[in-house]
């Protein structure tokens, strides 16, 4: 099993060619350094941008694996249909909290724990889920890059 990377960013972002190229360049560098598992949570514009980049790179690097992480077992089938079976794997991470935002936070923690490297697009904002994930990654001393600035 190779190394893994996950993506965390805001739901609404300013899309640009420059940001797309930054993500693509970093992901391609990771692939060349043995990263072959890419985890996605599927919430928001930054996640979608990263998914598009990785799916495009998969044409050149067919060995990489895309993994979609869902909150609940009951969502696996619905998620597969909604994403048109694009992902190589769908996993349900064990989260024991009932409130949806709390579930997302703890799901993000599980993804961070599984990942060797993280790519963020997170503004410093205490109410932001992306920023909370970034703070957790720092606490766990995970390697990351924040493309926000």
Write out pLDDT tens, residues 76-123: 666 666 666 688 988 887 765 555 567 788 889 999 999 999 999 999
User: What value does the mean pLDDT take over residues 9-25?
Assistant: 94
User: Does the CA dihedral 55-16-142-26 come out positive or negative?
Assistant: positive
Kindly state the greatest CA–CA separation across the chain: 40
From 144, 137, 139, select the one nearest 117 (Cα to Cα). Answer: 144
pTM: 0.90
Q: Give the C-alpha separation, 105 to 147, whole Å.
A: 20
Q: Give the C-alpha separation, 92 to 95, whole Å.
A: 9
User: What value does the mean pLDDT take over residues 3-12?
Assistant: 94
CATH number at residue 89: 3.40.50.450
Q: pLDDT at position 116, please? A: 98
Per the structure, the count of domains in the chain is: 1
Q: Are 67 and 37 in contact (CB under 8 A)?
A: yes
The residue range of the domain holding 75 is 3-146
123-146: string of b/e by CB count within 10 Å (b at 16+)? eeeeebbbbbbbebbeeeebebeb
* pLDDT score of 74 more than 70: no
Q: pLDDT at position 79, please? A: 66
Q: pLDDT at position 43, please? A: 75
Q: Give the C-alpha separation, 44 to 32, whole Å.
A: 27
- Average pLDDT value for the chain: 88
DSSP class of residue 73?
G
């Amino acid at each position: 099993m190779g190394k893994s990377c996950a993506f965390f960013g805001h739901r609404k972002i300013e899309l640009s060619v420059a940001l797309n190229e930054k993500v693509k360049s970093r992901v391609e560098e990771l692939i060349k350094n043995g990263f072959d598992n890419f985890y996605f949570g599927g919430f928001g514009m930054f996640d979608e941008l990263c998914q598009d980049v990785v799916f495009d790179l998969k044409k050149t690097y067919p060995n990489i694996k895309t993994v979609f992480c869902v909150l609940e077992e009951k969502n696996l089938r619905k998620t597969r249909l909604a994403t048109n079976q694009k992902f190589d794997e769908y996993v349900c991470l064990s989260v024991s909290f009932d409130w949806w935002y709390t579930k997302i936070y703890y799901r993000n923690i599980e993804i961070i724990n599984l990942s060797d490297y993280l790519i963020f697009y997170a503004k410093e904002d205490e109410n932001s889920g992306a920023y909370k994930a970034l703070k957790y990654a720092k606490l766990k001393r995970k390697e990351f890059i924040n493309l926000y600035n």
